Amino acid sequence: MEFTARQIADYLKGEVEGDDTVSVSTVSKIEEAQPGSLSFLANPNYTPYIYTTGASIVLVNKDFKPEKPISATMVRVENAYQALAGLLNLYQQSLPQKKGVSSLAFVHERANTGKDIYVGEFVVIGENVVVGDHVKIYPHCYVADNVTIGSNTTIYPGVKIYENCVIGKDCTIHAGAVIGADGFGFAPQSDNNYMKIAQIGNVILEDHVEIGANTTIDRATMGSTVVKKGVKLDNLIQVAHNVIIGENTVIAAQTGIAGSSKVGKNCMIGGQVGISGHITIGDEVKIAAQSGLSSSVRDKKIVMGAPAFDHEKYIKAYIHFRNLEKLVKRVDELEKRLADQQEQQ
């Protein structure tokens, strides 16, 4: 499909600067774009590329001020990155949509399935499962008994959803994710062995949640592990039993959250963060990558390090740490001078 600069500007409520009849049929990064493609400029670090890009149309912020002539047609919008996201979603929705239940899938006779669903090859849907309208379940997925899946949710290949879990509307679960496996619960015994504690709870994903590939969310020991509305989890994340993640929090890859911890809403958590069990992370907290948290964090704090503490204090401490070798030498020299003075007295 082709779109002109005028059509794009009208859809985005933007302003065209240049040839409004030029058209594009693909999207490219600004530094690699060729004629006939649409690109965008949101990060100032990429500004030099707008003067050399081969893109036919570039989305820019309304306050962008070029310093040199630009050959591409610009479409000025309030937020170029958000505008591009909207266009990509529009393009994806225009693609042919999969529908129908494969003859190679197993759907239990007591499952309740909605309209216009897609169920791929070798999918297993258990007893008393409820599948909403327009749900897509790709090949090799397993949906255990008593699971509920809300409308417009997409479940990619190889996902496993254990019994009694609840998946909300408009969710996306990427390939290989496991929802509802047992929490890591074992009781020490007198013979240095461990007794498994039955995990009888479930997992609840509220609406508009996205779960990355190979991420695992454990079922609660009792009650529910809850991922609230709008949460976005990256690939390879571990969420333990009875964890609660607040609305619109985003978490990057390889983060692990131990059992019964609570993460507030609108938090941003970097990759490879470790969060201990039974602690509380407040609302709007930002945690830098590779941080380790062993104690609770209040609202709106920015923390980093292992153990994590206030980022401004961490940066100051890190400056001293980098100069530690010089400081040690100075201390050694001072101690030597002091020792020499004491010998002379």
Active site residues: 241
Q: Mapping DSSP to helix (H, G, I), strand (E, B) and coil, where does residue 234 land?
A: coil
Omega cis (within 30) before 307: yes
334: tokens are: 């001072």
What is residue 311's three-state secondary structure?
helix
DSSP-assigned states of every residue in 202-223? EEEE-TT-EE-TT-EEEPPSSS
Integer angstrom CA distances of residue 100 from 140, 162, 327: 15, 23, 70
44, two tokens: 């100032």
CA distances from 231 to 25, 98, 216, 239, 328 (A): 32, 26, 14, 13, 47
Contact 17, 74 (CB under 8 A): yes
What does the alpha-carbon distance between residue 47 and residue 52 come to, in Å, rounded to a whole number? 10
Tokens 């707008």 appear where? 50
Full 3-state SS string of 259-299: CCCEECCCCEECCCCEECCCCEECCCCEECCCCEECCCECC
